[in-house]
């Protein structure tokens, strides 16, 4: 049983990372479009525009995770505002390490060229680990009967 659970955990993490990869693309595209269309270089604005990509990615990821990553736990359950809110809250907590990494990189390398994009990417990777743990154990956990 322990081996089965460990395998299931690994498979779910891989699925979660695939979904997260799709979210990463969505997040980065939205970030890049806003940054490039409006030629943003201000540190203040660079800390605001990732939120737009974040919201788009969280919404997309909730849907895919509900049906695919945690499909077994969610089998027969409809999408719900309550679970979406929980997923969003877990994702908000994952923003803290993301922003710490993001601002550390910007502080070290500056806000020009590819550094804001690199900072955003690395921050997303760090936030992914926090997102998975919160999603698995709080949002998409199997109801006990």
Contacts by residues 41-46 (CB-CB < 8 Å, ≥ 24 positions apart) = 41/111, 41/112, 42/111, 43/106, 43/111, 46/106, 46/111, 46/116
Residue 121: pLDDT over 80: yes
pLDDT > 70 fraction of the chain, expressed in percent and rounded: 93
Give tens-digit pLDDT for 20-31.
899 989 998 999
Backbone angles phi, psi at 23, to 5 degrees: -65, -40
- Global pTM reads 0.72
């Amino acid at each position: 049983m322990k081996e089965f659970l460990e395998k299931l955990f690994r498979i779910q993490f891989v699925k979660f990372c695939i979904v997260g990869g799709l979210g990463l693309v969505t997040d980065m595209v939205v970030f890049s479009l806003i940054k490039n269309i409006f030629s943003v270089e201000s540190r203040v604005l660079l800390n605001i525009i990732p939120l737009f990509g974040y919201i788009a990615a969280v919404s997309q990821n909730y849907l895919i995770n509900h049906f695919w990553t945690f499909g077994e736990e969610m089998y027969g359950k409809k999408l719900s505002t309550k679970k979406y809110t929980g997923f969003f809250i877990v994702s908000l907590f994952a923003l803290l390490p993301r922003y710490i990494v993001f601002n550390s990189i910007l502080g070290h390398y500056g806000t020009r060229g590819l550094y804001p994009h690199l900072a955003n990417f690395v921050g997303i990777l760090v936030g992914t680990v926090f997102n998975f743990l919160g999603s698995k154990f709080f949002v998409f956990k199997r109801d006990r009967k």
